[in-house]
C-alpha cells in the first residue's frame, strides 16, 4: 500500500537558477549566516539535536507533520499513525520499521508528538505538538533570513513565517516535492558523505565557517580542526569524527595539513558541493514559500 499522493512538481533548482544564485555578491554572506546559525543552534545532549542532526531524522520530522496536515476528515484511517509512518518511511528508504517505532516513541517522550484523544482507540493516531513546528520554524527563520537579500521577495517570505497557516503549507509543499523525487544530493552528491553521518553537516558547517575574516566562503586557506573539540561540541565520539575526516580526505574533499593534521584545506570538490547545496536549499525554500503564501500547498 503506497501512501504517496503528492502531485508532480517541477524541480525549482535548475542549473541556471543555481548558477545565477551563486553568482550574486551576497551569496557567500548568506552561506556563512546559514552555516554559522546551524552550529549555534546546536545544544549538546538535547533531544532536538538527535532528531535533527542527520538527513533521515530531519526528513522523519517533516513527514510526520505531512501525514498530519494532509489528514482527510472523511477518512478515519488517514493522518499520522505508527502504521502509516512505517509504510512511508519504508517507501522512501528513510528507516526501518523498528527504527520508525523507536523514533515515534522518542518524539512522544520529548513532547514533539502526543496521542490523539479519540473515541476510536484502534486508530492509535498521533498529533504533533506546537513544539515540533516551532523547532522547524527556528531553522526556517535562520535560512529565510540569510537568503532574503538574494530574492526580490525575500523579506516577504520572512514576514510570512508569522502567519500561522504558512508553516503547515510550507511543510506540505516541501514534503510533496520530496515525495515527487526532489533530492538535495542530486545537485550536491559530494556532500553525501557528510549528510549521511551523525552530526556530519554540523561538522561541515564548522569547517566552512572556520576561515579567517579576510578569506573567502567557503574558505580557500587552511582552517584549524580539532577532532576532540568537534566530538565534544556535537556529542559524537572521536573515532566517529576521525573516520569522517579521513573518509573525506580519501575522497578528495579535504586535505589535512600541518603537524598532526591539525589544519584542513577544503578542496574545490567540497567547496563547489557546499555552494550547490546552499543554493539548492534556498531555491527550494523560495519555491515552497511562494506556493505556501498563495495557498497552493494545502
pLDDT, tens only, 106-158: 889 889 999 988 656 666 899 999 988 888 898 899 999 999 999 999 999 99
Nearest CA among 143, 187, 179 for reference residue 14:
187
**CA-to-CA distance for 184 and 298, rounded, in angstroms?**
23
Residue 5: per-residue pLDDT: 54
Three cell numbers written together for 33? 549566516
Residue 278: per-residue pLDDT: 96
Domain ranges, ordered by start, for the chain: 15-184+274-294, 189-272
**CA-to-CA distance for 188 and 271, rounded, in angstroms?**
10
What sign does the dihedral 184-190-191-195 (CA atoms) show? positive
- Helices assigned H by DSSP within the chain: 15-22, 27-41, 47-52, 55-69, 82-91, 97-109, 130-147, 154-160, 166-179, 184-187, 192-195, 200-208, 227-233, 238-250, 268-294
pLDDT range class, residue 199, cuts 50, 70, 90: confident
Third-level CATH fold of 189-272: Arc Repressor Mutant, subunit A (1.10.10)
**CA-to-CA distance for 230 and 186, rounded, in angstroms?**
28
In which element (H, E) is residue 128 found? strand 126-128
Residue 14: per-residue pLDDT: 92
State what percent of residues in the chain have pLDDT above 70. 90
Spatial neighbors of 53 by CB under 8 A, at least 6 apart, are 42, 198, 199, 201, 202, 234
Averaged pLDDT, 70-77: 87
Give the three-class secondary structure for 233: helix
* 202 pLDDT higher than 80: yes
Residue 32: per-residue pLDDT: 96
Cβ neighbourhood burial of 92 (10 Å; 0-12, 13-18, 19+): middle
pLDDT range class, residue 93, cuts 50, 70, 90: confident
The total number of residues written for the chain in this structure: 298
Residue 48: per-residue pLDDT: 46
Instruction: Give pLDDT tens digits for 147-188.
Output: 999 999 999 999 999 999 999 999 999 999 999 889 888 889
- Answer yes or no: are the C-beta atoms of 71 and 65 closer than 8 Å: no
Nearest CA among 135, 173, 146 for reference residue 297:
173
Q: How far apart are the first and last CA of the chain?
A: 23
In which element (H, E) is residue 256 found? strand 254-257
Amino acid at each position: 500500500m503506497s501512501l504517496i499522493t503528492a502531485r508532480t512538481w517541477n524541480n525549482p533548482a535548475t542549473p541556471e537558477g543555481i548558477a545565477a544564485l551563486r553568482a550574486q555578491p551576497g551569496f557567500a554572506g548568506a552561506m556563512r549566516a546559514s552555516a554559522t546559525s546551524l552550529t549555534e543552534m546546536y545544544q549538546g545532549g538535547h533531544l532536538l539535536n538527535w532528531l535533527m542532526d542527520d538527513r533521515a531524522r530531519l526528513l522523519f520530522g517533516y513527514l510526520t507533520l505531512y501525514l498530519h496536515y494532509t489528514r482527510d476528515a472523511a477518512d478515519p484511517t488517514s493522518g499520522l499513525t505508527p502504521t502509516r509512518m512505517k509504510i512511508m518511511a519504508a517507501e522512501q528508504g528513510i528507516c526501518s520499521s523498528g527504527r520508525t517505532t523507536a523514533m515515534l516513541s522518542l518524539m512522544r517522550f520529548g513532547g514533539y508528538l502526543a496521542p490523539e484523544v479519540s473515541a476510536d482507540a484502534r486508530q492509535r493516531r498521533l498529533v504533533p505538538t506546537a513544539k515540533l513546528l516551532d523547532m522547524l520554524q527556528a531553522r526556517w527563520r535562520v535560512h529565510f533570513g540569510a537568503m532574503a537579500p538574494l530574492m526580490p521577495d525575500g523579506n516577504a517570505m520572512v514576514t510570512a513565517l508569522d502567519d500561522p497557516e504558512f508553516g503547515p503549507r510550507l511543510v506540505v509543499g516541501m514534503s510533496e516535492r520530496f515525495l515527487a523525487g526532489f533530492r538535495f544530493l542530486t545537485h550536491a552528491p559530494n556532500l553525501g558523505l557528510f549528510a549521511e553521518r551523525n552530526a556530519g553537516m554540523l561538522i561541515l558547517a564548522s569547517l566552512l565557517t572556520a576561515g579567517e575574516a579576510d578569506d573567502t566562503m567557503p574558505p580557500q586557506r587552511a582552517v584549524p580542526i580539532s577532532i576532540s573539540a568537534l566530538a565534544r561540541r556535537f556529542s559524537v565520539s572521536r573515532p566517529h569524527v576521525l573516520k569522517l575526516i579521513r573518509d573525506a580526505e580519501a575522497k578528495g574533499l579535504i586535505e589535512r595539513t600541518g603537524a598532526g593534521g591539525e589544519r584542513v584545506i577544503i578542496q574545490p570538490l567540497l567547496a563547489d558541493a557546499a555552494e550547490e547545496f546552499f543554493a539548492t536549499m534556498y531555491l527550494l525554500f523560495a519555491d515552497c514559500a511562494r506556493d505556501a503564501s498563495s495557498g497552493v500547498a494545502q
